[in-house]
Amino acid sequence: MLPGILLDRDGVINVNRPDHVKVWEEFEFLPGVLEALRALSQLDLPIAVVTNQSIIGRGLATQAAVDEINARMIERVSEAGGRLDGVFYCPHSPEVHCTCRKPQPGLLLEAARALGLDLSRSCLIGDAMSDVQAALAVGCQAVLVASGRGAAQHALVEEAGISSYYLARDLQDAVAWVYDRFRPEQN
């Protein structure tokens, strides 16, 4: 079992649109993200995306559209010299109360099963309190980036009294933290 790096998608990898990313044309990489993912890929650890995509359950996008967006994202990352080893998403609307919508840890467990990850030695980089909560629920280290909904979410996390996470400016900053933390411990 390996440590792995889990990433939220919207607000971490791409611009978080208030009207959601429903088609590939609405997907816009945040500045510096492709370079950050290339650097992260050199660590030789599994990298997976874990993302809530309730737009499917709400009827705003089809599963096929979300799959296409994810496939194209993987392709672009790969063209830029990086890699994403898996994308796991929750398609449910919040009303369903599923076990995979973050802050529930179901997606993290699914990624761990698929990629053979030891979550207690892994980390999740996200832009929302629900990411931090999902990570801590399974003993994963949490990194909150301020690039998406970060500032407002940071306030929520503080109000909730959660302090065991690292606050990063953006994915580049988070990757630098991951390097410090994971490179010496690799294998």
The verdict on 138 binding Zn ion (CB under 5 A) reads no
What gap in Å lies between CA 111 and CA 128, rounded to an integer?
19
Residues labelled as active-site residues? 8, 10
Smallest distance, Zn ion to C-beta of residue 15, A: 23
Locate 1 and state its tokens. 């079992």
> Smallest distance from the beta carbon of 117 to Zn ion, in angstroms?
19
Minimum gap (Å) between residue 126 Cβ and Zn ion: 16
Largest separation between any pair of C-alpha atoms in the chain: 45
* 94 neighbors 58 (Cβ within 8 angstroms): no
Minimum distance of Zn ion from residue 84's CB (angstroms): 20
Q: Which is nearer to Zn ion, 10 or 170 (CB)?
A: 10
Report the Cα 124 to chain-centroid distance in Å.
6
Site for Zn ion in 58-117 (CB under 5 A): 90, 92, 98, 100-101
Phi and psi torsions of 150, nearest 5°: -50, -50
Neighbours of 3 (CB within 10 A): 22
| Pairwise CA distance, residues 126 & 149, whole Å | 10
DSSP state of 29: B
- Report the residue number, 90 or 128, with the smaller CB distance to Zn ion: 90
- Give residues in contact with Zn ion (CB under 5 A): 90, 92, 98, 100-101
